[in-house]
Amino acid sequence: MGTTLDIVSFFSIEPLNWLGILCCLISGTIVGLERQLLGKPVGIRTSSLICLGTYVFIVISLSVLNEHGDASRVIGQVITGIGFLGAGVMLTRDGVVMGVTSASAIWMLAAIGVVIGTGHYAAGVKLAILAVVILTGVDILESSVKALQRGVHRRFVDFRHTRQPTRAEKARMEE
C-alpha cells in the first residue's frame, strides 16, 4: 500500500494538474502546427511552451494568492512579457513589416494559457481551434479575393533568393 501512495505522490504536480498540461500541449500543437506548416517562426515547440509557461505562471499565482496578492497582476505581467516575445518575431524587410501574425499568435497562445490556467480547459482548446480557423480562413480569403491582397496584406517576395534566368532562358522567353 505504501508503494502505491509513493507512486501517486511521485506523479502529483500540485498545484498544477495533468489535464491542464495536456490541454496546453494540445492547444499549442493545434496553433503551432498551422504556423510550422507555413514555415513561420512560431512552430509546435514554441507554441506549446508559450501556452504551458503561461498556464504555470497563472496556476502558481493563484496558489499563492492571499489577502495582499492579486492574481490579475500576474496576468498583466504575462501580457507584458509576451509582448516582448512577440516583438522579437517581427522585423522589417524592404519596407514591409513581417511577423505581425506570428506575434499575434504568440499573444493568443498566452491568452489560451491564461484561460486554461484559470480552469477553463475546454474553452482553451476551443480558442486554439478558433485561432487556427481565423489563420487559415483569412489566408484562404486573401488568396482567393483579389481586393484583400492590397496594401500591407500583399505577399512579400524576396527576389534575392530566387534564381535569375540564364541568357539562354531569357532569349527563349523573348521568342
pLDDT of residue 145: 84
Closest CA to 90 of 154, 161, 140, 40: 40
The residue with greater pLDDT, 8 or 80, is 80
Identity of the amino acid at 74? V
In the predicted structure, residue 160 carries a pLDDT above the cut 70: no
pTM of the model: 0.78
Distances (CA, A) of 89 to 69, 136, 170: 33, 20, 38
pLDDT one-digit tens code per residue, 41-95:
899 999 999 999 999 999 998 888 776 677 788 888 888 899 888 888 888 777 7
Domain boundaries, given as residue ranges, for the chain: 12-152
Distance separating alpha carbons of residues 125 and 102, to the nearest angstrom? 19
Provide the 3-class DSSP secondary structure of residue 93: strand
User: What size, in residues, is the chain?
Assistant: 175
pLDDT of residue 62: 87
Q: Is 36 exposed, middle or buried (0-12, 13-18, 19+ CB in 10 A)?
A: middle
pLDDT one-digit tens code per residue, 109-153:
999 999 999 999 999 999 999 999 999 998 888 888 887 777 655
Q: Which of 22-36, 118-132, 156-170 has the lowest mean pLDDT?
A: 156-170
pLDDT of residue 155: 59
